[in-house]
């Protein structure tokens, strides 16, 4: 079986148009559609979920930017 790979971007999820294929008229073909994995989008979504979760913790909004900076400096000094 010969394989032919073509990448397209879905513009209409109700219809996919393939053109300029290297097959003969009447030739029987098998079509398999695989969605391309996008690990960056997956990681980005997980990070957004984590931010949402941590920002919803009680009292977290009471911490000021200067307190955060002081905590970072103390950590860097090994305290």
Instruction: Judge whether 10 lies within some domain.
Output: no
Instruction: Judge whether 11 lies within some domain.
Output: no
Residues whose CB falls within 8 Å of the CB of residue 61, separated by 6 or more in sequence, listed in order: 55
Instruction: Judge whether 1 lies within some domain.
Output: no
Decide: residue 3, CB within 10 A, 0-12 exposed, 13-18 middle, 19+ buried.
exposed
| Residue 54 clears pLDDT 90, i.e. is over it | no
Q: How many domains does the chain divide into?
A: 1
**Which is more confident, 2 or 47?**
47
For residue 46, give its domain range. 39-76
**The pTM is what?**
0.42
| Residue 57 clears pLDDT 90, i.e. is over it | no
What is d(CA 32, CA 9) in angstroms, rounded to the nearest whole number? 15
Instruction: Judge whether 22 lies within some domain.
Output: no
């Amino acid at each position: 079986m010969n394989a032919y790979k073509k990448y397209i971007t879905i513009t209409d999820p109700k219809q996919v148009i393939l053109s300029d294929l290297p097959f003969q008229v009447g030739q029987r073909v098998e079509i398999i559609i695989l969605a391309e994995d996008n690990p960056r989008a997956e990681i980005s979504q997980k990070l957004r979920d984590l931010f949402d979760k941590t920002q919803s913790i009680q009292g977290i909004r009471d911490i000021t930017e200067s307190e955060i900076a002081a905590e970072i400096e103390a950590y860097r000094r090994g305290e």
